[in-house]
Structure 1
Amino acid sequence: MKKLIVAQHLEENQRELIQQAAPQWEIITGKEPEHWKSHLNDAEIIAGWKTSMEEAALEKGTALRWIQTWSAGVDSMPLDQLDSNGILLTSANGVHAYPISETIFAMMLGLTRKIHTYIRNQDQKEWAHAGLKLEIHGKTIGIIGVGAIGKETAKIAKAFGMNVLGVRHSGKDSEYVDQMFSTEQLHEVLSRCDYVVNTVPLTPDTRGMFGKKEFESMKDSAFLINIGRGETVQEHELIEALNAKEIAGAGLDVFETEPLEKDSPLWEMENVILTPHTAGSTEFYNKRVIEDIFIPNLKEYISGNPPPVNLVDYRKGY
């Protein structure tokens, strides 16, 4: 009997849905290693990959043929080895579209309407106007990386009457985006935006893509929101841009080093909102991964076809 590991805590109905899709397979579930460690050599599918699985699951002669990650990003995966071993890889890209787009607008609205400042004032019992004047309606938002998260962000932006500019590698048009640009046109887009939202994955091409030149291209009244990957932004140059008032502020969920170091100036900055890489957290996470991604992929895989949802292209790194 073929084996399938899901290294997550599942509700009984979720396990039953997987078993119905793969009735002839043995399903092993559980987040702790004791549930799946002894099955790594002969499991053909692993969903919910853990770094600690790597040595046993990828050694020569194992049965592994497909990995379904429980995260959208795959930059921490051993991509070269998976590629050389002929192992298929699918991500959880898209499962975060609702919670992350909500976080993006929470940060945008918080910075615009000075909610972060008023919370600090509340702690000090200080009654102060704090110079509130900005509003979000009718402004221009630039979404750098228009995938599932970017598209949902663009959709919400239209409810605020915003002008939506998008940047994607292909430059291909997308619904709710008024103008789409290629990555070569990034600086042109940055110069027009009141809000710059970075949603790109971490690849060799995107590492450090936001640095001194990019911040200089932005308006001094613009806000940066980063919910992609911390390493896509050169953090010391962001700090310099914030201190020099080259940009108005930032909402940051991801950082070059996580947890964010205690001595980082970002903690103390009045024009920065920080969250601890939690933008994708949602009560519906497992449900969406299983029902929208894993089971459709599983059905196709068992039928002899490559899993169609979020199949990673090793050449691109995502």
Structure 2
Amino acid sequence: MKVAYHASFPGFEPAAKCEVEGASFHTANDLTELARLAHGSEALLILATDYSQDFANAIREPGGRLRFIQFLSAGYESAGAHGVPPGVALSNASEVWAPVVAEHAVALVLALVRRVPDLERRRQARRWDRPAFNASLSSLDGSRVALLGYGSIGREIAKRIRPFGAHIVGISRSARDCPLLDEAVALSELRELLPTVDILINVLPASPSTTGFVDGDFLTLMKPGSYFVNVGRGATVDEAALADALRRNLIAGAALDVFEREPLDASSPLWSLENAILSPHAAGYGSPGIVHRAHELCRSNLRAFRDGTKLRNLVTPGAS
């Protein structure tokens, strides 16, 4: 089994770390060479951001041997946008990034409810004013936290939120229950749920049906004084509508790690809003465990592909 890979994931060394009997790993120096290698390989390991339209066209050329693509990213919208060759299975790597993304999501929630940016502004102004600050605080303790999208990242967030004493609601199409949840709600019931939620954490993937999902109507339904956090995909949020909701104090605050276009344009009104926290798509980084989990996932899935058994994290490009 020939496996193609481009060394664009720092620290990831499949040839040295993935130990799959019968597999030979071939590393490309650039994406043009990777497309050529992938066309003649049975399996491909690639970051979703490297999967361009030109790349997708190249691996669809007649005579290709490719039958399995392992994305090393949680997102796989580039495969939906550009397509994969017929008969090729695709897996993503959401579980690789999920623990660290969840950690970052909880950090953003805590920064909002404990008003950490306001503390920093007060420090810079040498302002004490304890009664006013204390009156502005909220807490996860006794709050109602909803996870919009309940896959591997949502589950990891729920694990980390639970010790704070929050009531956790998981929102998904299937409303599938889970021991980590206090409540499972179908996406069809979202409009009724929104006015009851104190903190909404968006973990939706990007797809045609989720583009602009969090729009003006959505934000109007949210509980006054509530908070919104996005660690899913930037395309799922109408940023103009969110900025307007924050400016009008329809919600108390928002923390965003992903944006419609990255880097966020300097002209975006989000930069100037004191009730917004912005982080530069950093949620998945900072842990050596990421590379370890990437090696383990690829080792497992390449063996499963070789043996014809069930693949982990199998996804359907373009699915809603």
The TM-score with structure 2 as length reference comes to: 0.89
Give the match for residue 66 of structure 1: 68
Give the match for residue 45 of structure 1: 43
Q: Answer with 31-40 or 252-261: which moved more.
A: 31-40
Give the match for residue 109 of structure 1: 110
* Residue 41 to residue 156, structure 1, CA distance change in 2 (3 Å): closer
How far, CA to CA, are the matches of 1:40 and 1:95 in structure 2? 23
Q: Answer with 269-278 or 152-161: which moved more.
A: 152-161
- Pair 1:237 & 2:241 matched: yes
* Residue 10 to residue 244, structure 1, CA distance change in 2 (3 Å): closer
Give the match for residue 308 of structure 1: 311
- Contact 2:198/2:225 (CA < 8 Å) preserved in 1? yes
Gaps of 5+ in 2: none
Q: Deviations over 1:32-86 (max 9, x none)?
A: 448746523312211014235333322221211111001111111256732x621
The alpha-carbon deviation at position 149 of structure 1 amounts to 1.3
The alpha-carbon deviation at position 315 of structure 1 amounts to 6.5
3-state SS of 1:120 partner: helix
Structure 1 letter corresponding to 2:105: I
- Contact 1:14/1:287 (CA < 8 Å) preserved in 2? no
Structure 1 letter corresponding to 2:209: D
Alignment of 1:119-134 (within 5 A): 119-123=120-124, 126-127=127-128, 129=130, 131-132=133-134, 133-134=137-138
3-state SS of 1:107 partner: helix
- Pair 1:75 & 2:74 matched: no
Give the match for residue 295 of structure 2: 290
The alpha-carbon deviation at position 127 of structure 1 amounts to 4.8
* Residue 88 to residue 79, structure 1, CA distance change in 2 (3 Å): farther
3-state SS of 1:43 partner: coil
Q: Answer with 218-227 or 116-125: which moved more.
A: 116-125
Q: Answer with 236-245 or 70-79: which moved more.
A: 70-79
Structure 2 letter corresponding to 1:40: A
How far, CA to CA, are the matches of 1:263 and 1:12 in structure 2? 36
- Contact 2:56/2:83 (CA < 8 Å) preserved in 1? no
Q: Deviations over 1:188-209 (max 9, x none)?
A: 2211111000001111221111
Give the match for residue 16 of structure 1: 16
- Pair 1:187 & 2:191 matched: yes
Specify which structure has the higher proportion of helix.
Answer: 2
Gaps of 5+ in 1: none
Structure 1 letter corresponding to 2:217: K
How far, CA to CA, are the matches of 2:11 and 2:307 in structure 1? 26
Give the match for residue 57 of structure 2: 55
The alpha-carbon deviation at position 150 of structure 1 amounts to 1.0
How far, CA to CA, are the matches of 2:220 and 2:12 in structure 1? 53
User: What is the Cα-based RMSD across aligned positions, in Å?
Assistant: 2.3
Structure 2 letter corresponding to 1:87: V
Percent identity of equivalent pairs:
31
- Contact 1:141/1:164 (CA < 8 Å) preserved in 2? yes
* Residue 250 to residue 244, structure 1, CA distance change in 2 (3 Å): same
- Pair 1:255 & 2:259 matched: yes
Identify which of structures 1 and 2 has the higher relative contact order when contacts are C-alpha pairs closer than 8 Å and 6+ apart.
Answer: 2
Please point out which of 141, 144, 164 is paired with 2:145.
Answer: 141
* Residue 34 to residue 181, structure 1, CA distance change in 2 (3 Å): closer
3-state SS of 2:77 partner: coil
Alignment of 1:213-228 (within 5 A): 213-228=217-232
3-state SS of 1:104 partner: helix
* Residue 315 to residue 35, structure 1, CA distance change in 2 (3 Å): closer
* Residue 256 to residue 11, structure 1, CA distance change in 2 (3 Å): closer
- Pair 1:100 & 2:84 matched: no
3-state SS of 1:202 partner: coil
- Contact 2:113/2:140 (CA < 8 Å) preserved in 1? yes
The TM-score with structure 1 as length reference comes to: 0.90
* Residue 37 to residue 97, structure 1, CA distance change in 2 (3 Å): closer
Q: Answer with 54-63 or 28-37: which moved more.
A: 28-37
- Contact 1:165/1:189 (CA < 8 Å) preserved in 2? no
How far, CA to CA, are the matches of 1:35 and 1:286 in structure 2? 24
- Contact 2:79/2:318 (CA < 8 Å) preserved in 1? no
